Every structure is written in C-alpha cells, then in structure tokens.
Amino acid sequence: MKFGDIVVALAIIAIVIIIIIPVPLMVLDLLLSINISLALLILLISIYNKEPLQFSIFPSLLLITTLFRLSLNISTTRNILLKANAGNVIEAFGNFVIGGNAIVGFIVFIIIIVIQFLVITKGSERVSEVAARFTLDAMPGKQMAIDADLNSGLITENEARERRMRIQKEADFYGAMDGASKFVKGDAIAGIVITIINIAAGLIIGYLIHGMELGEAIQKYTLLTVGDGLVSQIPALLISTGTGIVVTRAASDTDLGTDLIKQLFRQPKIMFIIAGVLFFLGITPLPNTPYFMLSATFIYLGYILRSEIIKSEGKGEEEEEEAEVEEIRKPENIIPLLQVDPIELEFGYGIIPLADPNQGGDLFDRLVMIRRQIALELGMVVPMIRLRDNIQLEANKYLVKIKGTEVSEGSIMFNHYLAMNPGNVEGDIEGIDTVEPAFGLPAKWVTEENREKAEILGYTVVDPASIISTHLTEIIKKHSYELLGRQEVKTLIDNVKETQSALVDELVPKLMSYGEIQKVLSNLLREKVSIRDLVTILETLADYCLITKDVNMLTEYVRQALGRNITRQYIPGKKAKVVLLDPQVERLIMESIKQSEHGSYLSLEPNVTQGILNNLSVEIQKLVSIGEQPLIVTAPIVRYYFKTLTEQLIPDLIVLSYNEIDPDVEIQSVGVVKL
C-alpha cells in the first residue's frame, strides 16, 4: 500500500506496452485470469456499495479495464494469427466451455455481445446521462438548502463545507459516469470487430500460409477466436453489470443484497398469494412437480415472515416501553415540564368529537381560521393553540388558559344550539335560558327541532363548535398583548425587513431594542389597536425615539400616526357623540404626572380620583341612554393617564385623543367630566 501509486502507474504503462511487445503464452494466461478476477472484484464492490460515491474511482477504473481488455485482445490476436495458439485459458474456453463446437461458441458469443451492447450497456448509458443531468439541475437547490441550514444554525461551517464538497463530487461522479459508460459501449463494438477480423484473417493465414485444409482452418481459427472473444467479453459483461448497478443504485444504509432481500421478502401476504397462484398452475396440464415445490416454498417463506413480524412487533413494543421508562428516569427530562403553552383549550371528554376529524369535528380547522382572523384584525401571529382533553372537567365544559393560568370557561349542551336575540325578535321560543360565554348576552339552548323555528323568528343560532371558537377568539383578542413577546416581535420585524430594510436597520438595534418595541406594541394591543401597519409604527418610533425614551409617550405618538385606522375602528360615520373632559380636570391630571427612572405615572388623591370616576359614570350613562357607544375624548397628553385611571372601573372604556380622530369627523359633546 505504501507504494500503491507507483504500482498503479507502472501497471497502466505495462498495459500499453503489452499492445506493442509480444507476451509469452504463460504470462498471457495469467493476465487473462487477472482480467476475470478484476471484473469479479468490480462487480462485488458494486453490489456491496451503499452509495455511488463510495466507488468514486469507478469511471477511471472503467477506462483502465477497457484498455486492459483491448490490449489483451491485441496480444491474443497476435498469437492466434502467428502461432495458431493463444494459451491454455483460451483453449479451455474453446474446448470445455463451448464443447469444442465453433458454431455453438460463435452463437453464444453473439448472444453475450447482444446482451451487453443492447441491454445492459445501452440502459446504463441512458441512466448515467439522466442522472448526470438531474444532479446538475438539482445543485442550486441543494446549495440553497445548505445555506439556509447554515444561516439558521442547524449545521456548522465545517458541515456546510463538507456538504458542498459532497454535492460537487456527486456532480463530478455522474458526469464522469456519463462519459465512462461510452467506454463499455465501445468495448462491445470492438469485440465484434476483432472477432470478425480474427476469423477472416485466420482463414486466409491458415489456408494460404500454413497450408491447412479449409475445414481445418475454419475449425481451428474460429474456435480460438470465439474462445478469445468469450474470455474477453465475459469480464466485460461483469463490468457492464457492475456499471448498471452503480448508476442505478440509490443511496441506502445497507448494501444491495441486504436491500434486495429486505424489500422482496417483507410482506407475507404476497408470499401466500404467489403460493396460491403456483399451486393453481400445478393442477393444470403444466408439469406439476416444480410448481408444487415452489408453492410449498413460498408458503414456508410467508409463514416465516409473518412469525418474524409478530415477534418484532412484540419486541418493538417492549423496547418502546423500556425506552419510555428510561426516558422518564433521565433527570434532564424534567426540563420539558417547565414549558408553559401560550394558549391552551382544555375540554371534557364530551367535547372530544368536536376536535376529532374522524368523528366529523372541525375544531382544528376553526383554530386555523382564528389565527388568520387575528392576523388580519390585529396584525399579530397567534402562537399555536394547544388542545387538550381533561378528564377532571365535566363532560360538557371547557376552559381557556393563557400561559398556564385559567382566564375563562364555558359549557355547551350536546345536541343543542345556542339561540341569541339580536334585539329585533318578535316572539319567544322554547329553550333553556343561559348566557353566551363570549359577550355575556342572554341566550337559550334550543333543540334541533326548534332550530329552524328560531331562525325564522330572527334568532341568531350557532352550533357548539362556533360557540367555543368565538369565545376563544375574544379571549385571544383580550389577552393579545400578553401573547406578544420579544421573539414574536423579532419575527414581525424580520418580515418587514424583507421590503423595508433601511427602516429596520436605522431603528433596530441602534435606536430601540426589541424589548422597547415590544412594550409599545403591547400597549397598542392592550387597547385593541391593530399593529398590522407595522411600517408606520416603526417609522413613527424612528422619528420620536430620539425625543423621548418613555414607552408610554412613544405609544401615544404611534396612536396619532394610526389615527385614521383608530377613527374607522371606533367611529363608523362622520359624526361622533362623545364625553369630554373639563379643562380643569385635564390640568389637574397633567399637574399630577410624576416622573421616575422607570417612566411616568399618575399621582392623584384618592378622593379626587373617586370624584372623577363618579362623574364619569354619570356622563357615560347619558351616552348609553341614547344608544351610543361610550367614548371619551381628551387632550393628547392626558389620554394615556386618564385611560389608566379608568381601567379598574371600566376596563373596556374607549378613550381617544383629539389628534387620533380624523379631521373629517364632527365631534358632538353630550357631557363633560368635572370634579
């Protein structure tokens, strides 16, 4: 092995020398035997390869073996024509292999040539060509996949370099195989030509020069030529077969023989079907002995395979149970128990059919629609919603958890529908009184028989799955600000960066961190302001973050930039009946704003706060009495602090500033909040 490169170089030179210098018959016999041995070695290596690149030298080896066979053909031709003798190996093939019959030998030789040239070589050449083209076409996609894995951190730089090198080697290999397969094709053609020349020249030399009888010359030279052709073409056939195996071999963890046995004999059902067909053929006029024997063999194979499958399944279950036990025992498996799902929907066993697609449930599809709806309305990506059955709950109950804590619950009635009065229903309907869980509206559970009647009367009728999905949607909207973390903000900003890279590069992380942006977005979501127009939000933050670092003030600037959307959200028409703040109240609030290292906050005397809230309740009742939505309008600097002041008493109160309202909207005051 130490001087292997020198030996190979000398061997290639020796192959060329054989063409020029006559070789003794004893050496020629040895070289012909080496040729057969080398062909067997190549064939076996092809069979036991797991993937083509393990035999990457194969294209070059094809050239060397082809040159070796042709040099041997020239040497044997020289001996046949000069001495009418080509050594013991060729003579043995001529006398023993083909029984000394030149015609039979010639026919066998022609058949081998046809098999090699038209079947194996032609197919291998086509597969090599297609594999080379497909490998080259797939290179850009594979390179992009490697770059994506590298950028996401799934692989290291060294692993990426190795994969790129492997792709390059695959392309080089299949490209070389496409060309090298032409050597085998040319070898087959050369074998035919050499044989025809040997026979024709042998007849002329034997008859004219050596004075042989015509029949003797035909017998002698045809026998030697055909023997020579068989000696050279049998190794060529082995190598052609090896070529076909290499180029048609898909990457696998095992060799060809193992894959062949595993994939042919893996289904006992097929073995039994074949046995039945063979048994049927055995009872026909065909010779029954071989068919009955084969039928019994396939029955035995089917029985053995079925026994092994049953045994492996039992063993697999035991191993799986043992693995689970060992997995539980591992101390590091406590870590997954610490993970808290952002959103969970737990339900009793009676609600399981609503979540099971096999039983006609469509709750999973509804969850997808909920995430799409929230994305369109609020501009955020809702985390995956975990569905979990809970045997501790009553069969018809469900509850919603946010970050592991229960925030709401509800119940349904099986085989019933929820009928709600939209306010214009004339007439009553028989049902069980209840409260709609999402909005707290009075409703009734009605049966399937009364469903159509309820719809005719004007009730809004919904099925249990719709009740749960609507309730869940409202819970997500209410707690959306809690579900938006830094990682979700980074995802949203990365999406904007694809089209607004200059904006993102200017803002993050030079001016603001992801955490500061997350606080602003959470403030907006807390009051149900959509963050879908993230470009406007980021541009506003980039403009004002140099003026102030107060997150609450930055939120107010963003709200003013989103004024048109906020106006359309809360004021559908061109007029708005609102409650205003007395200038004295606004002045008092501004004077009570205190600054700290953590931001600004409102500091009012408790009796003053109570007086403002009492007066606010009275003014809101005026709006409600005339059928208007409670809406408070304040000065921009006061809006945030007044909203904070009223959150405990009226969480859903809408508080807008003058700068957030579209100039086209006419504001009509129906009351003023005073001290």
Q: Ranked by mean pLDDT, which of 107-116, 170-179, 607-616 comes out on top?
A: 607-616
- Which of 448, 479, 510 is at the close of a domain? 479
Residues 6+ apart with CB under 8 A from 516: 545, 549, 551
Task: Classify residue 174: in a domain, yes or no.
Answer: no
Residues 392 and 498 in one domain: no
C-alpha span between 675 and 672 (Å, rounded): 10
Tell me, what's the pLDDT at 462? 92
State whether 19 and 96 are in the same domain.
Answer: yes
Q: Tell me the per-residue pLDDT of 316-343, one tens digit each, with 9 for 90 and over.
A: 667 776 766 665 555 555 666 677 889 9
Sheet of 575-581, strands arranged across: 654-657, 631-634, 575-581, 666-673
Q: Tell me what pLDDT residue 467 has.
A: 92
Within-domain flag for 304: yes
Please give the pLDDT value at position 248: 67
Q: Are strands 343-347 and 385-389 parallel, antiparallel or unpaired?
A: parallel
User: What's the pLDDT tens digit per position in 356-376?
Assistant: 888 878 888 888 899 899 999
Question: Does 217 share its domain with 111?
Answer: yes
Structural domain includes residue 328: no
Does residue 4 sit within a domain?
Answer: no
Q: Is 41 in the same domain as 185?
A: yes
State residue 562's pLDDT score: 93
pLDDT digits (tens, 9 = 90+) for 125-151: 666 666 666 666 666 777 777 777 776
Domain boundary, last residue among 561, 592, 627: 561
Task: Report pLDDT digits (tens) over 569-616.
Answer: 888 888 889 999 999 999 998 888 888 777 778 888 888 888 898 898
Q: Is residue 159 part of a domain?
A: no
Task: Check which CATH number belongs to the domain holding 651 and give it.
Answer: 3.40.50.12790
Residues 555 and 589 in one domain: no
Taking CB atoms within 8 Å and a gap of at least 24, the contacts of 29-37 are: 29/87, 29/88, 29/89, 31/72, 31/75, 32/72, 32/76, 32/87, 32/89, 32/90, 32/231, 33/89, 35/65, 35/68, 35/69, 35/72, 35/231, 35/232, 35/235, 36/231, 36/234, 36/235
- Please indicate, yes or no, whether residues 391 and 472 belong to a single structural domain of this protein: yes
The mean-pLDDT minimum among 159-173, 441-455, 508-522 falls in 159-173
Mean pLDDT rounded to a whole number for the chain: 81
Local structure of residue 266 (DSSP, 8 states): -
pLDDT, greater one: 640 or 96: 640
Report the C-alpha gap between 556 and 159 in whole angstroms.
Answer: 49
| CATH code where residue 418 lies | 3.40.30.60
- Higher pLDDT residue, 91 or 502? 502
pLDDT of 35-50, one tens digit each? 888 888 887 877 777 7
Contact yes or no for 658/568 (Cβ under 8 A): no
Range of the domain at 233: 12-124+180-251
Mean per-residue pLDDT for 7-14?
A: 81
Same domain, residue pair 455 and 386? yes
Do 460 and 584 lie in one domain? The reply is no
- Picking from 429, 452, 479, the residue at the C-terminal end of a domain is 479
Same domain, 669 and 643: yes
Establish if 286 belongs to a structural domain.
yes
Query: Residue 535 belongs to a domain with what CATH number?
Result: 1.10.8.540
Residue 337 included in any domain? no
Question: Read out DSSP for 272-291?
Answer: HHHHHHHHHHHTSSS-HHHH
Q: Is the pLDDT of residue 250 over 60?
A: no
Instruction: Assess whether 493 and 451 both reside in one domain.
Output: no
Give 340's contacts (C-beta < 8 A, 6+ positions apart): 403, 404
Residue 177 has a pLDDT of: 67
Whether residue 258 lies inside any domain: the answer is no
| Domain match, 56 and 185 both | yes
Q: What is the pLDDT of residue 532?
A: 93
Count up the domains in the chain and report the number: 5
Residues 60 and 203 both lie in one domain: yes
The band of 524, judged by pLDDT with boundaries at 50, 70 and 90, is: very high
pLDDT for the residue 179: 67
Judged against a pLDDT cut of 60, whether residue 253 lies above it is answered with: no
Cα-atom radius of gyration of the chain, to the nearest Å? 44
Confidence of residue 167 (pLDDT cuts 50, 70, 90): confident
Given this model, what pLDDT does residue 75 score? 82
